[in-house]
Structure 1
Amino acid sequence: MRLRDLGITIGSGTPGAFNAITDVPGVRVGHHTLNAESADGSMHTGVTIIEPRPVAAHLAPCFAGVHVLNGNGDATGLEWIREAGLLTTPIAYTNTHSVGVVRDALVAAEREMGKQHTYWCMPVVLETYDGILSDIWDQHVSTEHVQAALEDARSGPVQEGCVGGGTGMICHEFKGGIGTSSRVLSSEEGGWTVGALVQANYGVRDALRVAGYPAGSVLKDIPSPYDGPVNVGVPGMGSIVITIATDAPLLPHQCTRLAQRASIGLARVGGGTEDDSGDIFIAFSVGNSGLPVANLGHPGPATTPLKMVNNDYMTALFVAAADAVEEAILNAMLAANDVQGRGRKALALKPEQLLAAMAKVGWAPQP
């Protein structure tokens, strides 16, 4: 179940065919999910991969930019993006304690694809904390799991909810995880597509807003995974990582501006104000091809012809990014299922619960 299936729409824009980040040409998403519950411990974690192009990323770099709203989290590869403005690897989502193994596995995969070149890489790995439901200290994610996620990468509909890196995540004290959405601009606005994919693991219940309505104020009495001893954590702790993709031909500084607009979508749902949250966003553009490939000792041409979106046309892209992020977060919650781990239970936001709450706060479906 997704938000639009309930008759709830975000903004006035038009989603793409899949209403997913994969509506951006060439973008692919893959997951590998790890689930196990036993007397020995809880394992609810995994890896999600976003491929910017359907070829080895280092052979077809993309312009990219990053934005950190709140830095209570970590990531690899962002400094090189800030410096060079280029995304040259896939993007991975995982849990906090698996950043290293995922990064190393992506290095190995890139080396296997590019070993005929003199080449180095700095993979982009983003994390959020799933230690409420999963035994994070056991570091379950392995190289083989990263490879499985890479092999799973495809276009088309994207699995959401309790999959891949989002398997053990919590959002607004409901079960969270992976969510996605997209917008296609009108021909007058440029005709480009903007897609977002989130790993949502943040927020308190009563701050939740849906399409501008304070639904969380009605839902706040539903049991929370944080109920019980305080040493497991407090509501609002966690993080959210967001990737925005577009085929609009943006330069790196314009990608950074687009990444900043993820903050708006997050704020509309009720996030972005917690000290304990790592809110890290990346945006990339596939709109320019033929960008320079890192091939040390064998430089290519001295210049590269480029296209860029004029600033007068950036507003529509900003609106699309904010709307897609907002909807992606809510899709992540609605697609999830109940998950129990480490003696805690995170309940999914049920469609009937949300519709009843929205009715109580004054929302009604459009005729």
Structure 2
Amino acid sequence: MKPRARDLGITIGQLQPGPFNAITDVPGVRVGHATVQGLAANGKTINTGVTLIEPRPAAAHLHPCFAGVHVLNGNGDASGLEWIREAGLLSSPVAFTNTHSVGTVRDALIALERAENSDEQRLYWNMPVVLETFDGLLNDINGFHVQIEHVAAAQQAAKSGPVTEGAIGGGTGMICHELKGGSGTASRRLSAEQGGWTVGAIVQANHGKRRELRVDGYPVGRYLAETPSPFAQAALPHPGMGSIVVCLATDAPLLPHQCTRLAQRASLGIARTGGGNEDCSGDLFIAFATGNALTPTDYARKGAFTQTLQMVNNDHLSELFLAATEAVEEAIINALLAASDTSGNGHQVKALTAEAMLEGLRQAGWSAQ
């Protein structure tokens, strides 16, 4: 297993991570991957997949949670976000995949929900949340290789505990800061005096320019010029083209507008690593909060007129915002460290090794604490 940032003595931020340093430190949250690789009939390479984040152990539509979304730059696509903006409710898993598989994954999640629940439990409609980033350099993206069985496999693989990172699931074919990117995760747990809540992040990192990469605030990317860029021989995409999608989770009792504010802080975590400045990048974020137990909407039999809710006092939101920022920052670095060299369709993308990262940090003036 490759080292993560903290294994190398890189301590990002002020707050402490949870036991897994992953989004699964938020109780009930589970993550599953399904990776699709091989050679297509047209001779092109397949490097893609799907990653699934389940907000609660039970069916999401039976146990919805408050949520909010934020778009830093809209050169990307997603399904299911308009209802979250309107109602503030997440009632599906959150899926990450490639740009041209959003529709397939959305349809698969609807079909799986209908197959797994009785008539009494089925929703009249379902609008799953699916976010994407572009893997067309390393993957035969127009081959539509992600299918319903892969979404089902990711769902079956979903579990709590440590989360596999790097070139896996939806992150299989992704490129980050001109290095091999993919899936990464991290968390922060607040002290009892700060509320005791946990914030976790998972990213699909496919963005950024090499020279702008920062690690713990140090301009490491400036010292990685010897690593070849995968874009050197490609007309498109060019360095910086790509996207990053983020899912934030917390067990704090946040209301929808507070979830939106939490989602906005993903922008700061990306900025701290040197990203977020590209026109050709889809930077889409979702945050959900499991701290309130909500009654599911029942279109056949209307429920009670009111529900009893809790809300974090605004005086205590700053700590949660910092936790989200730090978790996203570290998740991106973990994604880079976990990735492996990947080839596809005549292109090779080198991974950032721990040795190269540490040497870049030392050249930039960093020393282990």
TM-score range (shorter-chain normalised) is: over 0.9
How do 1:301-340 residues align onto structure 2 when only pairs under 5 Å count?
Answer: 301-340=304-343
Counterpart in 1 of 2:140? Answer: 135
Counterpart in 2 of 1:245? Answer: 249
Partner amino acid, structure 2, of 1:314: L
Please say which of residues 159-168 and 105-114 is displaced more in the overlay.
Answer: 105-114
For residue 299 of structure 1, report the CA deviation from its aligned partner.
1.0
Counterpart in 2 of 1:19? Answer: 21
For the structure 1 residues 128 and 229, does the alpha-carbon distance in structure 2 shift closer, same or farther, using more than 3 Å as the test? closer
Structure 1 distance, partners of 2:206, 2:39, is 20
Local SS of the residue matching 1:59? coil
Structure 2 distance, partners of 1:109, 1:293, is 19
* Residue of 81, 85, 91 corresponding to 2:84: 81
Local SS of the residue matching 1:57? coil
Structure 1 distance, partners of 2:69, 2:253, is 16
Structure 2 distance, partners of 1:266, 1:30, is 23
For residue 17 of structure 1, report the CA deviation from its aligned partner.
0.5
Counterpart in 2 of 1:288? Answer: 292
Counterpart in 2 of 1:126? Answer: 131
Q: Residues 195 and 245 of structure 1 are in contact (CA less than 8 Å); yes or no, is this contact kept in structure 2?
A: yes
Structure 2 distance, partners of 1:187, 1:125, is 34
Partner amino acid, structure 2, of 1:54: P
Structure 2 distance, partners of 1:220, 1:59, is 51
Structure 2 distance, partners of 1:111, 1:145, is 17
Counterpart in 2 of 1:265? Answer: 269
Q: Residues 198 and 240 of structure 1 are in contact (CA less than 8 Å); yes or no, is this contact kept in structure 2?
A: yes
Structure 2 distance, partners of 1:203, 1:94, is 18
Counterpart in 1 of 2:154? Answer: 149
1:283-313, CA deviations, whole angstroms, 9 ceiling, x for partnerless residues?
Answer: 0000001x13122121111100000100000
* Residue of 200, 209, 213 corresponding to 2:205: 200
For residue 341 of structure 1, report the CA deviation from its aligned partner.
0.3
Q: Residues 118 and 295 of structure 1 are in contact (CA less than 8 Å); yes or no, is this contact kept in structure 2?
A: no
How do 1:175-254 residues align onto structure 2 when only pairs under 5 Å count?
Answer: 175-230=180-235, 232-254=236-258
Structure 2, unmatched stretches of 5+, are: none
Please give the root-mean-square deviation of Cα atoms over the aligned residues, in Å.
Answer: 1.0
Counterpart in 2 of 1:71? Answer: 74
For residue 227 of structure 1, report the CA deviation from its aligned partner.
1.2
Matched, 1:160 2:162: no
Q: Residues 56 and 113 of structure 1 are in contact (CA less than 8 Å); yes or no, is this contact kept in structure 2?
A: no
For residue 117 of structure 1, report the CA deviation from its aligned partner.
3.6
Matched, 1:274 2:278: yes
For residue 248 of structure 1, report the CA deviation from its aligned partner.
0.4
Structure 1 distance, partners of 2:11, 2:345, is 36
Q: Residues 117 and 295 of structure 1 are in contact (CA less than 8 Å); yes or no, is this contact kept in structure 2?
A: no
- The alignment's TM-score, normalised by the length of structure 2, stands at 0.97
Structure 1 distance, partners of 2:152, 2:84, is 24
Local SS of the residue matching 1:312? helix
Structure 2 distance, partners of 1:361, 1:57, is 46
For residue 118 of structure 1, report the CA deviation from its aligned partner.
5.4
How do 1:92-107 residues align onto structure 2 when only pairs under 5 Å count?
Answer: 92-107=95-110
* Residue of 34, 37, 50 corresponding to 1:35: 37
For residue 111 of structure 1, report the CA deviation from its aligned partner.
1.4
For residue 12 of structure 1, report the CA deviation from its aligned partner.
1.5
Q: Percent identity?
A: 63
Structure 1 distance, partners of 2:304, 2:273, is 46
Structure 2 distance, partners of 1:254, 1:146, is 30
Structure 1 distance, partners of 2:336, 2:121, is 43
Shift >3 Å, 4+ stretches? none
Counterpart in 2 of 1:52? Answer: 55
Local SS of the residue matching 1:69? strand
Q: Residues 114 and 122 of structure 2 are in contact (CA less than 8 Å); yes or no, is this contact kept in structure 1?
A: no
Partner amino acid, structure 1, of 2:332: I
Partner amino acid, structure 1, of 2:323: A
Structure 1 distance, partners of 2:283, 2:263, is 11
Q: Residues 118 and 296 of structure 1 are in contact (CA less than 8 Å); yes or no, is this contact kept in structure 2?
A: no
Partner amino acid, structure 2, of 1:334: L
Partner amino acid, structure 2, of 1:3: A
Matched, 1:362 2:365: yes
Partner amino acid, structure 2, of 1:60: H
